[in-house]
Amino acid sequence: MFLIVGLGNPGEKYERTRHNVGFAVLQAWGRFLGARFSSRRFQARYASAMFQGKRVMLLCPETYMNVSGNAVKACVDYYDIDQARILVIHDDLDLPFGRIKVGRKSGSGGHKGVASIIRNLGMTAFARVKIGIGRPRYGEPVEDFVLSPFYKDQEGMLNQVIQGAVQACELFVLEGVESAMNTINCQNFGNEEV
């Protein structure tokens, strides 16, 4: 089984924010897979689905971002999931909007959700799909920026970015992290100047 984790914060007020782009990717892929999300365990919304003969568990922690690792560890322990089959999707301030970077074996990069997962799992070997949100344009504090919706001129391209991240997940499951890195990391899904 593959575990695909989308990071975000629970509740309507966070739904369309930059910090919740991981949730948005799993919701989009879940719709495509016909997956039905439940919230009976793991402190998360989760769904099990088949993708081209491979079983995938989609997990959106319902804890707040800073303690996302609790839900991930509960699911990993319950299903005894190998660390090489874990993929975490999250926003990244250091990548411009429209860029997606697939990677593995790196630190948290200051992302509190990723830091929580590293703490709980006791390792950094899991793969990541980092979705660029860029930096604040208008001097907004970073804490406000990540918890705000994308800028109006980015909304039209957001679906392309989400679909690019879904493609990264599909490649990870079917062909592995190297293939996902080689295909995704060189693309600009938002068509924004970098």
Please write the tens of the pLDDT for every residue from 118-176: 999 999 989 999 999 999 999 999 999 999 999 999 998 999 999 999 999 999 999 99
Q: Is residue 191 part of a domain?
A: no
For residue 3, the tally of other CB atoms under 10 A from its CB is: 21
Q: For 30, what's the count of Cα atoms within 13 Å in the CB-facing half-sphere?
A: 21
pLDDT tens, position by position, 35-62: 999 988 899 999 999 999 999 999 999 9
Give the chain's domain count.
1
Q: Is residue 136 part of a domain?
A: yes
DSSP 51: E
Q: Tell me if 76 sits within 8 A of 1, measured CB to CB.
A: no
Q: Is residue 75 part of a domain?
A: yes
Say what the pLDDT of residue 94 is. Answer: 93
For residue 157, the tally of other CB atoms under 10 A from its CB is: 17
Q: Is residue 153 part of a domain?
A: yes
Say what the pLDDT of residue 192 is. Answer: 52
CATH number at residue 152: 3.40.50.1470
pLDDT tens, position by position, 173-193: 999 999 999 999 999 887 655
Residue 64's domain comprises: 2-184
Q: For 176, what's the count of Cα atoms within 13 Å in the CB-facing half-sphere?
A: 3
Catalytic residue set: 19
Q: Is residue 194 part of a domain?
A: no
pLDDT band at residue 105 using 50, 70 and 90 as cut-offs:
confident
**54 vs 109 pLDDT, higher one:** 54
**Phi and psi at residue 178, to the nearest 5°:** -65, -45
The residue to which tokens 């062909």 are assigned: 175
Q: Is residue 193 part of a domain?
A: no
Q: Tell me if 192 sits within 8 A of 98, measured CB to CB.
A: yes
Cα distance from N-terminal residue to C-terminal residue, the chain: 37
pLDDT tens, position by position, 62-102: 998 999 999 999 999 999 999 999 999 999 999 999 999 99
Say what the pLDDT of residue 108 is. Answer: 83
DSSP 149: B
pLDDT band at residue 194 using 50, 70 and 90 as cut-offs:
very low
Q: Is residue 11 part of a domain?
A: yes
